[in-house]
Chain A
Amino acid sequence: EVQLVESGGGLVQPGGSLRLSCAASGFTFSTYWMHWVRQAPGKGLVWVSRINRDGTSTSYADSVKGRFTISRDNAKNTLYLQMNSLRAEDTAVYYCARGNWNYGIDYWGQGTLVTGSS
């Protein structure tokens, strides 16, 4: 069974930093692209970032480019999102998601809440 378990969310002041983690199990982590997707309270899904199988290629939404960094440790079956210079508008549930086919997403974690507030 595919499982994706996010952690690391919390309350952070504007300008602060946070690192999210996603522990993957139930599949061969190193053979799949991975994504982060976020959802602000009461709003829709917004793609944040993706990383290829070996971590050599990444891409980001314009809203987070230069502030967020996606990475992965295939030996630990773990995906990361380093978030710097956080803003109030970054407040959202952040989902870790498994990529499949051409930029599709087939499995989602339960999400972790990041709240940017002073």
Chain B
Amino acid sequence: SYELTQPPSVSVSPGQTARITCSGDALPNQYAYWCQQKPGQAPVLVMYKDNERPSGIPERFSGSSSGTTVTLTISGAQAEDEADYYCQSADSSGSFVVFGGGTKLTVL
């Protein structure tokens, strides 16, 4: 079955740049989406179609894609950005949706 691979954790100091990667064989042909989940809360979309930012999401969030890897970048990470981040996409045929395992971002 198709998988998306994320690092389990990323840690940065406040004001530094955090980069969270997501790898998958079908990513050159399928868009990636990113959601943020804080403890006890529902996920919130923070990036769509690789690099489009939804309204209301701070400009410090950006997305990029290169080959089989997509990256969510948080420039000048803040304490409020501490959360779990999940990438999401589809398999090459577009039949199934898949999530990465999630990355816990720590800002301290």
A residues at B contact (CB < 8 Å): 35, 37, 44-47, 50, 59, 61-62, 95, 100-111
**Across the interface, do B97 and A35 meet the contact criterion of CB distance under 8 Å?**
yes
Option from B1, B35, B49, B102 in Cβ contact (under 8 Å) with A105: B35
Interface footprint category on B: 20 to 34
Residue interface bits B46-71, CB-to-A below 8 A is 1, else 0 = 00110000100000000000000000
Chain A residue with the shortest CB-CB distance to B96: A59
Task: Output the residue of A35, A44, A95, A104 with the most chain B CB within 10 A.
Answer: A104
Majority SS at the chain A contact face: strand
Is the CB–CB distance between A108 and B44 below 8 Å?
yes
Contact across chains for B33 and A104 when beta carbons are under 8 A apart: yes
Chain B residues with CB below 8 A from A101, complex form: 31, 33, 48-49
Q: Which residues of B contact A105 (CB under 8 A)?
A: 33, 35, 45, 88, 97
CA–CA, A101 and B33, complex, Å: 10
Q: Is the CB of B96 within 8 A of A61?
A: yes
Show 29 A/B contacts (Cβ-Cβ < 8 Å), sorted by A: A44-B84, A44-B86, A44-B101, A45-B35, A45-B37, A45-B43, A45-B102, A46-B99, A47-B96, A50-B97, A59-B96, A62-B1, A100-B48, A101-B31, A102-B94, A103-B31, A103-B89, A103-B90, A103-B94, A103-B97, A105-B33, A105-B97, A106-B48, A107-B45, A108-B43, A108-B44, A109-B42, A110-B42, A111-B42
